[in-house]
Structure 1
């Protein structure tokens, strides 16, 4: 495979040749994996000091310069952007991967203008939040985007991508074992807390996958992709979350009464009775350890409860439900503590 499309006008070439004095041969061969690319060395050295040093260091033009640690397809995508002065249009997963390749290699080879364009295009597209290429991207592409937003320090976009990861976990679009590997804080030169949260959700998803075995006292590490330490963390989370639910079910959250509440004691009593009754129901469709979904279902039942509608002022009922929602939000933020991570 050869690529020789990197051309420009005669005037531009002569100016470039002056800037890249010492590069005697206009075209050079670069070998990536088993593919040899024939490139315009003069244009590449103008775009990148890294390439200029490479060509000067490897003066023998009869031998291809071997670039190690690269994928041929990635390098081809970079050369395409350089030769066309264009970026891939973000239409689908494949075009997103191509743009990520361009951004990654433009940074690696210090092609500053192209890198700035690719990076800013990616950040702007992520910020839109609705681009199909972003929403449906692979976990690998998602991981690459996380690295970019961490590097530029964009906290809102980082939070958005972490939410995507978490949502995929709970919707089973991302396997929990893969998420456990991705979320290891040691993989990221960053504040470990967001990754510990993601790791907590990964262990939660793993726990729910083996919950029937745990409930019946079976071993969970036979024919499992989980490591022995991971199964210990899962068991720890299982017992912790069962205790958490028992505590939640026996302690209805306190709430602020409306100034128009004429009978606060009666209002509180109605809330407590219905809360404890529904929370203790075996008919709730999720296991005790599935606190995220169980408390969400409890919230729904209490919100639609006719007795509470008749017994509590609207503001009191709203405040009580808000306090219950806060418990769920707190659980979402602190899952990793239950698994002793």
Structure 2
């Protein structure tokens, strides 16, 4: 067989027979040749039988099959499996990374593979090899999210610059698309996406992912505790403030003694006792927040309830409409109807600490109030009702302040 062809071939051995097997002219029929596949996994759960060296009578083409396999790639051991990765992949790594890996083994034989002791899986390394071989013609429309994330993580870890650029640019396109997978992703996927944005220092991508995560928190589609733990670890103040807010509302709602169909108000003293008791409980598997995190939660409770008590008797100011001829009357009506709206029971029961939902409910109530529309100048009425949305935006911007996040 010509040498050029044998360099692209691989050798797989059948299980050894009880009697010794000599590889040479007489036994060549027992050797099965298969196309050389860089992604092929070779199980090493049990030590493979080492082939005997070819005898002097073996044709040179057969010897080449054994000698040339290492010229195209390195053997790499991951999680009890051995893969063959192209040498070009290692040449594209940072020199210090490549040197550190090659000191674990030469990678030229099954008996001396390069050992990857990193916390990566065989599938993740295969994704990296696939991306390296296909770059730059990868079809991002058919790329699973796990494959994209694995490629981004490992290319950064190994310092493969060409894949780093491609990975982060592709992540921006995929995660910010109109059909973003984050619309139905779990908290773990959000955390992984944010870690990638963090290691690459991509601020705009991080902000976009955080915005999608906190939106789904407010929609109650995702649990708040994972967001608190992640945002606290990576010092993401905006996400942390929203996660604390949602968690505080969830804890407080758990103590409201009425059904969603009932019109009822919350007992502030009861809510305070409940949240105080919750914050005194030591961390556990079901409630892993640290004492410091629970202190922030309690600070948010005191701050938000105090804010609502002030706001409910002091309506936000609005700008006078330029055609208004009796602005004093508009101000008096606004003061009166605002106080009435804030004192109305919220159906379903909304805890006092949930200022954002209370403000939304108050805004809807005021828009349907016929007395306001009859007694206020139309321009003043619109300005007064619209300013409620501005107050909500202000609360959102200051969530970090309410929870004493610095």
Question: TM-score, normalized by length of structure 1?
Answer: 0.81
Q: Match for residue 63 of structure 2?
A: none
2: CA distance, partners of 1:172 / 1:260: 43
Alignment of 1:1-341 (within 5 A): 5-6=37-38, 25-41=71-87, 43-48=88-93, 50=95, 53=99, 57=103, 58-59=105-106, 61-62=108-109, 63-69=112-118, 70-85=120-135, 86-87=137-138, 89-90=140-141, 95-128=144-177, 130-150=178-198, 154-184=202-232, 187-188=233-234, 192=235, 195-211=236-252, 212-213=254-255, 215=271, 217-218=273-274, 219-220=277-278, 221-222=280-281, 225=287, 226-283=289-346, 285-341=349-405
Q: Match for residue 50 of structure 2?
A: none
1: CA distance, partners of 2:272 / 2:70: 75
The size of the alignment, in residue pairs, is 314
2: CA distance, partners of 1:278 / 1:68: 63
Question: TM-score, normalized by length of structure 2?
Answer: 0.69
2: CA distance, partners of 1:90 / 1:316: 51
Gaps spanning 5+ residues in structure 2: where? Answer: 1-11, 13-34, 40-68, 256-269
Question: Secondary structure of 2:242's match?
Answer: helix
1: CA distance, partners of 2:297 / 2:102: 56
2: CA distance, partners of 1:155 / 1:322: 32
Answer with 1 or 2: which has the greater Rg: 2
Would you say the 8 A contact 1:267–1:312 is kept in 2?
A: yes
Alpha-carbon RMSD: 2.9
Q: Which has the higher helix share?
A: 1
Question: Secondary structure of 2:301's match?
Answer: helix
Between stretches 271-280 and 323-332, larger displacement belongs to 323-332
Deviation for aligned residue 1:147: 3.7
Question: Secondary structure of 1:217's match?
Answer: helix
- Pick closer, same or farther for the CA change 1:268–1:55 going to 2, 3 Å: closer
1: CA distance, partners of 2:363 / 2:158: 54
Describe the superposition over 1:282-340 as per-residue Cα deviations: whole angstroms up to 9, x where unpaired. 24541211101001111111122222222223321222223222211111121232222
2: CA distance, partners of 1:317 / 1:241: 27
